[in-house]
Structure 1
Amino acid sequence: MASLARSIIIGPLSRSSSKSATPWSSSICAQCRRTFITSPALQSGHNKWSKIRHQKAAHDAKTSSARTYYAKNIILYSKLYGPSLADNPQLANFVQAAKKAGVPKAVIEGAIAKGQGKSSEGAVLEPVVYEAIIPPNIALVVDAATENTKRVIEDLNGYVKKAKGAKSPSKFLFERRGRVVFEKSESGLDVDDIMEDAIEFGAEDLENDEEGNIIVWSDPSSTQQISKGLGSKFNLKILESEIIWHPIEDTRAPLDSSEDLNRFIECLESIKDYPDVQAIWSNVTRGNMSDEEWARVTDLIDE
């Protein structure tokens, strides 16, 4: 039987042996082949190790998102009210929350320093505005702050070239605007209630977002005045206070589901993870992207 078993296994691999096989042996070989074909196989992505890898990736993404959230707010409140935790209760609250969330001490200290325009070692950071065009015709403006401008530009060039794009003027497709976002007031204050004071502080336009937060638009020079003035007067929590590159409506460019989209997303992910990058602005619009694809893009750019 052992020799018969060997002939059954070897037979299908040899053309000469398959021709000389008896009907009985051919029948057995056919059964063997059916047995091999119908045997359950491990599917890619569904075994134990793939599951662990996917879980780790999800955990890493969640951790990265938490660090980004706390770092952004620590930078904001350090910039607005100073680096002292004793004199800046908003900053102190975010630092305490970041520690509870497991954000490393180095990240927290680095964010406080960045709010003051310095590195964690105390070196003055230089602002960098990087411009690029990504196929098919998507404009990028990247805000960064660094000790080494040349290194940042070279690294960003590498990410853009990988996406088949090029460093190219694109700021003319945007307008510079100040934007302050206040969290929805628990007392029920709305746009109409603060409009008169907001205008006095330099506001040009006010609106509510989908969650009821109040957005105040202004000239860039009025951003901090609006943040501090309205925030203090009406006891409003500041969610964002920044000078942004807002795409001019007529210059917005659609991006469809394609290889260009995949390369664009990979480029954005690389830039977003770069330590010296503070914000990414783009004139991209949805095109025929799916909800999931569009969500991936909007998660990576600042709007």
Structure 2
Amino acid sequence: MKKLFLAVAVSTMAAGSVNAATIYEKDGFVYKLNGDFQVQLRKKTGNDTSEYVDFDDLELKNYVSYDLNNDMKAFGRLDFDLKDHANGKDVNKPIEEAYLGIQYGATSFSFGKQNFASDEFGVEEAYEVPLEDDQFAAVGTDGDDTLRVDIELDNVYIAASYELEAKDKTGSTAIAGEFIDLFVSTEITGLTLAAAYQQHSPLAGESLDTWGLSAGYDFGIFGLAADYSVTDDGNTDQETTLYNVAATFDVASTTGVAIGMQNQEPDGSDDVTAWYANVTYKFPTQKNVSVFAEVADTDKDNADMGFLAGMRVKF
């Protein structure tokens, strides 16, 4: 997920209203629909890779809510993403998110198939990151049995989630195990600060503890941000670190440029450094229609530069 580091993260309770088309509204009931379609011509970084057409997003996001009065609201979300089907993968689970919840004032509680709180972390601005987004993404940031609380105050956003160590419908125990995630961010006069923590307890072995810090500043037409995340593997007593540095530039009202660098270093192994640069053009009459291009590379042995170019339509 491409993250926006210069704004406090969008919470679960607000997600239904961002860039959404209101399809129906009557007597306290609202139905909104989002769409995000992105197709790329891509060549991955690596040794002797080939060009191919990649369906990065083919999402339809359905959001419903009922006004319960007294500053309360019931809401639900059902999101479909067909990119794996379009990319020819053998999958039978097109549902990306499916959850219900209750909002009271600035606080919401939701449960179902959804992202963990740690998914809000990160500052990378790549369309396709050469490495992982961050160490939270490397471990896992979504589940099928997730309980989540979001609190959105004036300048502070807090999220917490718990992934149950549950059994699936066939009775087998989930391989992923248990996750506990926390995220908090604040914005003060253009400066955004964030921190996250995750404890992953697999069914076998010791837990993996991941934490991260990030900071970004909006200078107006220029933005600069960095994050640092660490995973401590209790099974091996080794750490893996990953940091991102990203900068964005508004070169025109319709055109933005982003550049970034990543470095990932596991204990006992050589670190890997990567970089990327991209440009995005949004059509002035329809800002939800854009075209983009990106180049990226790493310092791995025999790794060739990768590139992509594509188009995105969202609503």
Q: Which has the higher contact order (CA 8 A, sep 6+)?
A: 2
TM class by shorter chain equals under 0.3
Larger radius of gyration: 1
Higher share of residues assigned strand: 2
TM-score (ref. length: structure 1): 0.24
